[in-house]
Every structure is written in structure tokens, then in C-alpha cells.
Amino acid sequence: LRIGDGLKMSSQNLLQHGEKDWAAAKAHFENLKSTKPRPPKPKYAVTIAVSSRTLFDMVAERKIFEEEGLEKYVQHQQEHENEPLKPGPAFPFVKALMTVNERLRNLYPDSEELFDIVLMTNNHAQVGVRLMNSINHYDLTIERFCMTGGQSPIEYLKAYMTNLYLSKDSKKVQEAIEEGIAAAIMFKPDVVTQLSETQLRVAFDGDAVLFSDESEIIVKQHGLDTFFEHEKQYENKPLAQGPLKCFLEALGKLQKKFYAKNERLNCPIRTFLVTARSAASSGARVLKTLRSWGLEIDEALFLAGAPKGPLLLKIRPHIFFDDQMFHIEGAKEMGTIAAHVPYGIGQKYNKGKLIEPEKQQK
Amino acid sequence: MEDKKNYTGPLMIALQYNDLFDLDSISTSTDTDALPNGRAFTFIKAVQTVNERLVEQNKSDCLLFEVILISKECSEEIKMKVDESVKHYGLEIGKFFFCKKEELINTLQSNKVKLFLSTERDDVYEALHTGIPAALLYDQADDHVLNQLKVIFSGDVIGFSEDSLDGLSEFGFSETQIETIKTAKICMKEFAVLIGQMRRRFGQENSPLCTCVLTSWGSRNVCASALKTLREWGLDVDEAFCLAGAPCSPILAVVKPHILWDGGLLNMS
């Protein structure tokens, strides 16, 4: 049972008022007499929460906040309220999610199993007007948002039943992961790459992203040879799950909906595993683990330690999750939208060297 | 201030005594202990904090909160206990009114109450229906933060157009319910104007007063419309939540408001 399931199940108890809210919202959307799609019921949806700085490019505005303070920042945003912001690193990902939703709605018009995108920001509500104007400008299907006015978003992530949280703030992302919510820190690529407009492509690193960091600990502490021996020995023992496993699972569920309608070849979701492991010595355990979880991944790419950048350029994912900043930098340099998952032992190392002193057993 | 005679302080809020004190756990013995705290306790402490901070800024500020206590039929004994308890906790209660249930509405009207707060949804709904500004005193857990007063305005009530509201009749909402929502918007305005004036006495951060918009049903444009309307009324809200049909209880549990202006919407279950 994944952590996300627990959150969604307890919310069922609040359904009493919930059903009336749902009917009223349905009424409103149907009244609009437009082709605007109605947002799905959260308990069935795959909810992606994006921060304002990942959805839009707010680098200049951020500078004002850091150099001139909160009041000036809010004032600036209000003065430029009617100027739409430029797209941020999560923008292509969000557009791809919308494409998948369109396809799902065509095949399953009554289903609530869709992507739901929530704007989750620390910003004050007054800044929100500019954000909403920008969302209108690009006609993004984002109807739910949460502007916390400075409060931590973590409890709100749970309240909105978030399956994946994307932010530029490493502290918030770490807190989210600690609370069992898949989360990553997004980076804007140095070069712009042309991405698919018909298929959502998501790439994952293996250890400490889909899987726990148990094997990575062995590499760091005992070296590669021990690692290879260990993985061969435990080939049939599934690895423990990592912070992004649930998200892969959610993608898999949606993929199966396309397969059920004979759309496997034309499926608008494609997943990739991009791992430093090598197929020969340590790859089997990974594939067997995925199989034991009942999960499929469309393409598994074993690099045996080669750099990930060039391969990612061929894949062109809308987002690439990795736990090591070294790989994130490499991806970013070559034009891949990378998202850092601050989890596990990899955080203590930089390019193979220990950053902080090793602590004794607790 | 003279030209806006209706829009000056004090901001009078009426509470019912059975929200302020927990009467269910009263023992029949006439002990001299004060009544235990009720659901409005954290609210009143928060209000007092706002007043203190307002006075700190400007000693002669007349736009302050004033809380009056209204009670429906009760015994002399309880009246005394209420009086004693108020003194015991050092609560700043302006006036006490003891009246029959039927007289509640009149009492509220004649005292120019700017807001009637109650945990009783039926009371709130009834008051709104007669044009008295009324909001839900949100039931708080005991460990709530005391140094900030949180007010939520319903984005649906403020942001929905007349046509959209009328359209709700096709989805099981009665004429009365729809009329009450429209009345609620008018009632909210004066309160919002006053709160807006108060809010501006403080900066973005470290304010003892926090205002929010919660749009339960409407789309993002309804929420944007509500934000802009409130701005026109002089209130720049701090937080905004748009749910587009998602259940609002989980969000309310995190926001933990004291005052929830829902226009009687939550009464419809």
C-alpha cells in the first residue's frame, strides 16, 4: 500500500460535505458553456503540485524579493499584473500533462482518473492575480491553487492529496519527501531543446529515486566491486522503494488505460529508466524489483557509469529525476529539464567525494 | 471619516455565551470556579491581540474590535457565572445581552452589530437571511495559535456572477439558498471594508490579522474576480485557495480560521 493511498482513503470520511461541493463545482463548470474541462475529483486524480517559480520564470522578480524585500516585491508584481510571466522549467511538463488528459477524456469521458495540476505557492494572494492572469494567457488547465501567504506548503500538499510536488525550494522539497510525498527541485536547462507535443516523456534515475539508497550506500562506503557482488547475490531480493516509486506507479495506471483501448503503440505516456548501473552485473536486480512491484518501465537504459547527458538528449524527457547533483548538472548543461530528488546518501557526496564527515552509528 | 459614517469603528462582533464557555461540562454544584473555555475562546484572545497591536500603533485608534455577548434564555445563576468567568479570564466584553430566542435578530439589528458569529450554522443562516452580517465561528482545536486572527471570505459568494448563482437552481439549490448567498455578499462588504482598513495598519509580515479567500466551487476566474472585488473594497487578502470542487474540510483544517464567511453555503448538506 503506497503512502499516497493512505492520504486519499482518510479523506473519504469527509465526503459528506464533499459531495455537495462536488455537485456545485460541476454545476459551475457546466454553466460556463465553454469547452473548459472540469477538474477531476482529487481522490481519483494524479495530483501534481507546481510552485510559481517552476511554472513560470520569476528569476527577475525573485531578485527584487531578495534585494529589496517582500513589500517591494509584492508591489512590483501588482504593478506588472497584466504582463504574463514567461514559462518556467515545469511548463513543458504541465503542457504534456494536459495533452495526456485530452487523450484520456476522449477515451474515457466519464472518468476522474486524470492528471490534476495545482499551483502551490508561498506567494501572497495579491501576487496571485498576476499568476492567474499568466495562467489565463497560456490557457493552462489549472483550476486549483493554494497561495499560502508565507506559510509552509507541506500540510497543504497533504490536504490537496498531492502525488508529486515540484519546487525550486530545496528545503520544502526535502520536507515533502520526509512526509512521504514524491518531490523534486527543478532546474532550468542551459539550452532549449525541442520536446514532444504529443507524448509525455518522464525519465527516472534508479537508485535513491525509484529505489531506496541501500545499494548506493554500498557503492559509496565499500566501492564498486563489493556493490556488484552484493547485487548479484541479492538479485532476487527486491530493493526497497524510493521517493518517486509512487509517481511511476501512478503513471503506469494511466498507461494501462490506453493499453486497454488498444492504444499501446500510440500511448501518450512513455517512461524511461536511466541508471548508472550496468546491464550485465547489476541491472537484473532492478528489473526484477520493478517486476515484483507490478510496474513496467518502457525503456531501461544502463549506462555502466557513462555520463547521462548525451543519452538524455536523445530521449528528450519533459522531466528527468535524479538524486545526484552531478547528474543534474550534466543533464542541465546539455538541455535536459532536470529535477533533483534530495534523498539518500548521495546528498552527502559531491562527484564521489564525501562532503560532510562520516557520523558514527546512531 | 464623517462622510463614510457607516464605515467607521468600532467593529462590533456579537458572540453567544455558549460559544464562549463550555456549558456542557458544568457541574450542578455551585462551585466558584470559572466556566471552562468554549469554542470561541481562541477567537476572543486573537481579537484582543489585534486590538492591542492597533493601539500600539495609534493610541487614539477608534477602529478596534468590540465584542458583545448575547445569550438566549438562561438562568440567573448562569448569568452570574458568565459575568464572573468573563472577569476571571480578563476577557474584554463590551456589553451583555440576555434575550429570548425570538428577540435575537432584533437585538443584533438594534445594536448595529457588524458581525454575528456563531458555531450554530442554523443561527448564522437565519441571521444572513434577514440581512444581518453573520459568519461561522469555526470550531477550533484547543492548541490553536492565539496571536493571529484569521478570517476567510468565500470566493464563491463574492466572485460568482448573478447569472452563475441563478444557474445553481438547476443543481438542487433552492431559491431561498440562492437569495441568501446574494444577501451574504452585500453583508460581507462592510465587514471587508473595515477589516481592510485594519489590515493596512500592519505590514505583509508579522500581522496579527490574516485574511483569506476560499473558493470552493468556482473556477480560477471566480477566485480572481473575488480577489479583485475585495481589493476594490479596500482589502488585500493574504492567502487564497481555489478548490474547484475538491473537499474543503482538509484545507480548513490546515488554515484554521476563526471567522468563516461562507454565506450559509456550508449549511447546505
Q: What is the CATH number of the domain that holds B80?
A: 3.40.50.1000
Cα B208 → chain centroid: 16
Q: Of 3.40.50.1000, 3.10.180.10, 3.40.50.720, 3.30.450.80, which CATH number belongs to A42-185?
A: 3.40.50.1000
| Torsion over CA: B9, B95, B210, B58 (sign) | positive
Q: Is residue B206 part of a domain?
A: yes
Dihedral, CA of residue B54, residue B55, residue B59 and residue B64, to nearest 10:
70
Q: Which of B228, B251, B254 has the CB atom closest to A129's CB atom?
A: B228
* Phi, psi dihedrals of residue A114, rounded to the nearest 5°: -140, 175
Which residue type, as a one-letter code, is found at position B31?
Answer: D
Local structure of residue A40 (DSSP, 8 states): P
| Cα distance between residue A183 and residue A172, in whole Å | 9
Is B240–A147 a contact, with Cβ atoms under 8 angstroms apart?
Answer: yes
The residue from B137, B162, B192 where one domain ends is B137
- The answer to whether residue B155 is domain-embedded is yes
Q: Do B133 and B153 lie in a common domain?
A: no
Look at residue B142 and tell me if it is in a domain.
no
In sequence order, which residues have a C-beta less than 8 Å from that of residue A182 and are 6 or more positions away? A163, A164, A165, A176, A243, A244, A246, A247
B23 in a structural domain: yes
Tell me what ipTM this predicted complex has. Answer: 0.87
Same domain, B79 and B102: yes
Cα A12 from Cα A5, distance rounded (Å): 11
Between CA B157 and CA B174 the distance in angstroms is 15
- B251 → chain A, closest CA residue: A159
Nearest-by-Cβ selection for B242 from A27, A144, A161: A144
B224·A132 Cβ contact <8 A: yes
Q: N- to C-terminal Cα distance for chain B?
A: 42
Cβ-Cβ pairs closer than 8 A, A with B, add up to: 148
Domain total of chain B: 2
Domain-terminating residue out of B103, B137, B171: B137
* In a shared domain, residues B133 and B157: no
Measure A130 CA to nearest chain B CA, in Å: 10
User: Cα(A219)–Cα(A221) distance, rounded to whole angstroms?
Assistant: 6
Per-block mean pLDDT, blocks of 10 residues, chain B (269 long): 50 88 64 75 90 89 88 81 86 84 83 89 86 86 72 93 82 82 89 93 90 91 94 95 90 91 64
Residue B210 in contact with partner chain A when CB distance is under 8 A: yes
Instruction: Please name the residues between 169 and 198 in chain B that touch chain A, using a CB distance below 8 Å.
Output: 170-173
CA-nearest residue of chain A to B216? Answer: A21
Give B 117-156 residues with CB within 8 A of chain A: 156
Look at B245 and A22 and tell me if their CB atoms are within 8 Å: yes
Pair B96, B192 in one domain:
no
Enumerate the CATH 3.40.50.1000 domain ranges in chain A, comma separated: 42-185, 200-354
DSSP A360: P
3-state secondary structure of B219: coil
Whether residue B33 lies inside any domain: the answer is yes
Min Cα separation A285/chain B (Å)? 40
Residues B28 and B129 both lie in one domain: yes
Asked, for residue B172, whether it belongs to a domain, the answer is: yes
Instruction: With CB atoms and an 8 Å threshold, state whether A124 touches B238.
Output: yes
DSSP character at residue A239: P
DSSP A279: I
Identify whether the C-beta of residue B174 lies closer than 8 Å to the C-beta of residue B71.
no
Instruction: Look at residues B137, B166, B193 and tell me which one is the last residue of a structural domain.
Output: B137
In a domain, B183, yes or no: yes
Q: Do B181 and B64 fall into the same domain?
A: no
C-alpha cell at B112: 448595529
pTM of the model: 0.89
Shortest alpha-carbon distance between residue B156 and chain A (Å): 10
Cα distances from A56 to residues A90, A91, B153, B167, in angstroms, run 8, 7, 28, 35
Same domain for B51 and B166, yes or no, is no
Name the residue type at position B210: C
A200-354: CATH architecture: 3-Layer(aba) Sandwich (3.40)
Verify that B46 and B127 share a domain, yes or no.
Answer: yes
Same domain, B36 and B128: yes
Q: Do A23 and B171 touch (CB under 8 A)?
A: yes
- Determine which of B139, B171, B211, B262 to mutate to test the interface with A (most A C-beta atoms within 10 Å): B171
The whole-angstrom distance between A13's CA and the closest CA on chain B is 10
In single-letter form, the type of residue at position B173 comes to F
Whose grid coordinates read 491581540? B49
List, as one string, the DSSP characters of A124-151.
Answer: -HHHHHHHHHHHHHHT----EEEE-TTS
Asked if the structure places residue B269 within a domain, the reply is: no
| Residue A87, C-beta contacts closer than 8 angstroms, at least 6 positions apart | A55, A56, A57, A138
Q: Who's near A6: CB < 8 A, 6+ residues apart?
A: none
CB contact under 8 A, B254 and A15: no
pLDDT of residue B123: 86
Q: Residues B133, B15: one domain?
A: yes
- Do B116 and B159 fall into the same domain? no
H or E element that contains A107: helix A91-107
Could you tell me the residue range of the domain that residue B63 belongs to?
Answer: 11-137
- CA-to-CA distance for A111 and A348, rounded, in angstroms? 44
State whether B123 and B77 are in the same domain: yes
- B168 reaches A (C-beta below 8 A): yes
Give catalytic residues of A, as residue numbers.
205
What are the two backbone dihedrals, phi and then psi, of residue A314, each rounded to the nearest 5 degrees? Answer: -75, -40
Taking only the tens of pLDDT, chain A with its 362 residues reads: 343 443 443 334 344 456 666 777 776 666 555 557 788 989 999 999 999 999 999 999 999 999 999 999 999 999 999 999 999 999 999 999 999 999 999 999 999 999 999 999 999 999 999 999 999 999 999 999 999 998 899 999 999 999 999 999 999 999 999 999 999 999 999 999 999 999 999 999 999 999 999 998 998 889 888 999 999 999 999 999 999 999 999 999 999 999 999 999 999 999 999 999 988 888 999 999 999 999 999 999 999 989 999 999 999 999 999 999 999 999 999 999 999 999 998 888 776 677 765 443 33
